[in-house]
């Protein structure tokens, strides 16, 4: 039973990866930089997109993943950004986004006159890391209130990401939390991962983030 489950999963992941590669290539050809944001629930993904839109302008489209509700898409539409909401609830409450759904959302949104595509993945530090969505940059958000041990406990999410944003730094200093240890733990599971500390409330660190987005690594 267990080996059958693994085989089915491998087939699913292979199909997912093929579509992801196709998305990555097609958006690169159109000079659209695609960023996938992953994190636990409530680490600040939507707030980060809001702050990014304010600084980058309107040539951004966003695909929002949630099990239920269109709350996040509505927040972004208020800023004049076109946002498409994928609700996985009807599919049994799926805990991640798959590349085929991203492709369908891209077709629905249209990609004319767009410089940046953001995907806000389902709030989950486990499953989204297994499914490549075709992004040029995978970004993992972790808030300081979640604790310094998370990279060790959820290594895959940190390993598939090229950039880690440590969010909500306005809460620092915190009892039983060391930023230094968090950085060490990220390095242990993914030495190549860049780390930036940010606070959407104070604005601290957001310039460095915007700089990276504007540099469009891998796309130009």
- Collapsing DSSP to helix, strand or coil, 45 comes out as helix
* 14 vs 175 by CB, closer to a copy of itself: 175
Q: Is 102 exposed, middle or buried (0-12, 13-18, 19+ CB in 10 A)?
A: buried
Q: Is 31 exposed, middle or buried (0-12, 13-18, 19+ CB in 10 A)?
A: exposed
Distance in Å, CB of 201 to a copy of itself, minimum: 6
Q: Which two three-digit tokens encode residue 4? A: 């059958």
- Collapsing DSSP to helix, strand or coil, 33 comes out as strand
Residues 64-123 that bind a copy of itself (CB under 8 A): 66-69, 71, 91-93, 95, 122-123
Distance in Å, CB of 97 to a copy of itself, minimum: 12
> Rounded to 5 degrees, what angle do the CA atoms 6, 2, 159 make?
45
Stretch that binds a copy of itself, among 4-12, 30-38, 133-141, 211-219 (CB under 8 A): 4-12
Stretch that binds a copy of itself, among 61-69, 106-114, 190-198, 212-220 (CB under 8 A): 61-69
Residues of this chain that bind a copy of itself (CB under 8 A): 2, 6, 8-9, 40-42, 66-69, 71, 91-93, 95, 122-127, 130, 143, 145-147, 149-150, 152-156, 168, 171, 175, 201
């Amino acid at each position: 039973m267990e080996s059958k489950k693994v085989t089915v999963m491998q087939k699913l992941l292979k199909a997912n990866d093929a579509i992801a590669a196709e998305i990555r290539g097609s958006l690169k050809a159109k000079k659209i930089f695609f960023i996938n944001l992953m994190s636990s629930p409530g680490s600040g993904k939507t707030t980060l997109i809001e702050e990014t839109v304010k600084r980058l302008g309107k040539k951004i489209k966003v695909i929002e993943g949630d099990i239920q509700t269109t709350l996040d898409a509505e927040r972004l539409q208020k800023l004049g950004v076109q946002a498409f909401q994928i609700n996985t609830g009807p599919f049994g409450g799926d805990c991640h986004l798959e590349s085929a759904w991203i492709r369908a959302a891209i077709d629905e949104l249209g990609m004319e006159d767009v410089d940046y595509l953001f995907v806000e993945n389902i709030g989950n530090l486990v499953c989204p890391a297994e499914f490549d969505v075709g992004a040029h940059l995978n970004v993992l958000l972790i808030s300081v209130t979640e604790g310094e041990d998370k990279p060790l406990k959820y290594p895959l999410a940190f390993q598939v990401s090229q950039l880690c944003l440590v969010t909500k730094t306005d809460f620092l200093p915190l009892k039983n939390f060391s930023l230094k240890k968090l950085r060490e733990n990220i390095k242990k599971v993914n030495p190549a991962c860049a780390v930036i500390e940010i606070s959407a409330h104070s604005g601290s660190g957001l310039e460095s983030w915007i700089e990276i987005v504007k540099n469009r690594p891998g796309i130009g």
